[in-house]
Amino acid sequence: MFRCTLGPSVKYLASLPTLLQNRMSSSRPLLVAVCQVTATPDKEANFSACKQLVEEAKERGACMVFLPEAFDYIGSSREETLALAETLGGHLISQYAQLARKLEVWLSLGGFHERGHDWEADQRIYNSHVIINDEGDIMSVYRKSHLFDVELPEKGVSLKESAFTVPGPALVPPVQTPIGKVGLGVCYDLRFPELSLALQRHGAEILTYPSAFTVATGAAHWEVLLRARAIETQCFVLAAAQVGRHHDRRSSYGHALAVDPWGEVLGDCGGEKPGVALVEVDLEKVARTRRNMPVQQHRRDAAFYSSLGPT
């Protein structure tokens, strides 16, 4: 059920037992899991499916597991989406905290429907990326800052996220995790390189963009955008994804990807089924790439890039 198509560069999977042995003797674990799911409006069914993926990832040696945007549910209407929303202190996040603690694994929960700060007055939500450590503690919450309000009639795409979502007020600093410093984004944030560069400047070694890309925009832009963000920041990029049909009105592209700092695709979960891709994050590859091509040292100061003035 959870089979993935993996890129040819994931050759280490053939010798996974040796790597796991090395990991046990290493000072820091290096295996991560990037997951692909098909969320529906059924929250308990979604949790059960995600739980299976997390358990599989842990069994295969992952120390951190990345779940996609809307891992909790994808509603079939604005009303249903709002009715199913919870707070960070609610039942669902508590379930994931217990799971992380039980399995001793870090979790990236890539897009939680969090009730907004003024819920009683405006009935709107945040699209929140939550990081939970292996003791079940919330380590960081980033609220998606770029909302997907797009009309592409020729592609059959019509979504207005701002109709029920509040944009996040700020970026959050990269989170120190067992695999390195992780910079947080969500889905549409991927299209704004300013965000990824800001996170890189603040120490990010890994960027993550949990997503639910539409089929049309995914086929056109998904891989090229992820590879571009990896190349320009010289970071690993991990992008868990939704796949398949969620309900009668919505489907997602899939192809959960892991990309290295050179822009090479390490793992691809394909565009058909849920699954998990296990990849190795080697921070020496980040350091080596940045040392051999010191792009950030060659970058001019902010005044230079604003020297054209207003148009």
CATH of region 11-290, choose from 3.60.110.10, 3.40.50.2000, 3.40.190.10, 3.40.50.10800: 3.60.110.10
Every domain of the chain and the residues it spans: 11-290
Q: What is the pLDDT of residues 280-293, one digit of tens each?
A: 999 999 999 999 99
Please compute, for residue 56, the number of CA atoms within 13 A of its CA located in the half-sphere on the CB side: 20
Contact 110, 67 (CB under 8 A): yes
pLDDT of residue 120: 87
Residue 219 pLDDT > 80, yes or no? Answer: yes
Percent with pLDDT over 90 in the chain:
80
pLDDT-derived band of residue 45, with 50, 70 and 90 as boundaries? very high
Taking residues 258-278, what's their average pLDDT?
97
Which residues belong to the active site? 69, 144, 187
Closest by CA position to 131, among listed 19, 281, 240, 10: 240
Residue type, 145: S
Mean pLDDT, residues 29-33: 84
Q: Which of 168, 71, 140 is nearest to 110 (CA)?
A: 71
Counting residues of the chain whose pLDDT is more than 70, the rounded percentage is: 90
CA angle, 101 then 107 then 112, to 5°: 115
